[in-house]
Amino acid sequence: MSTQTARKPEDNRRNGLDVGELAQTVEAIKHDKDLARFEFRVRNRWIGGLVNRSEIQGFYGAGAEDRSRAEPFTYLSGEPPILFGNNEAAGAGEFLLHALAACVTSTTVMHATARGIRIESISTELRGDVDLRGLLNLDPSVPAGYRQITVDVDIKADCSDAELDELLQFVHGHSPITSTITRPVPVTIRRVA
């Protein structure tokens, strides 16, 4: 009697992503560029003081309105006492750093997966430098927002340091949030009735 070792089915997941689905998505967008267009939305309401609440639910993507979220995600924003708040929640500038950290991490995982790199761990630490003279209009030469943001990435993966450095350089150019905050993006603020 011969024994055969049953072959384990090919694992089609890397870094928590379905490799086949990722490849199919890329191919679909190559053939129909309209599938690449997305519109994300946030609704925000002032609560009082410097506190406001945002709700995120629907968005348009891949050629249709998305209805996958039964309930909205809700986020409160506030400020620390030194900035006239009561620590009700993280502030808008901190949310921007969170968005950047999340996008850098997700973009790194996505492109590592596409390159066949298995990530063991990844963590980021961000620092943003702000000079309040810009916000308070005390010096017209000082910008109102971050003057510099540093993203330190601690990543361990099954590839060389040179491959990780190249991956992170690629991510810098292809992370949507990094791209948004490092190039001029038109922002329209308009009053609606």
pTM: 0.87
Neighbour count for residue 15 (Cβ, 10 Å): 17
Closest CA to 79 of 52, 42, 45: 52
Convert the pLDDT of each residue in 101-126 to its tens digit.
999 999 999 999 999 999 999 999 99
Convert the pLDDT of each residue in 15-63 to its tens digit.
999 898 988 998 999 999 999 999 999 999 999 999 999 999 999 999 9
CA 64 to chain centre: 22
| 3.30.300.20, 3.10.20.600, 3.30.210.10, 3.20.20.110: CATH of 91-193 | 3.30.300.20
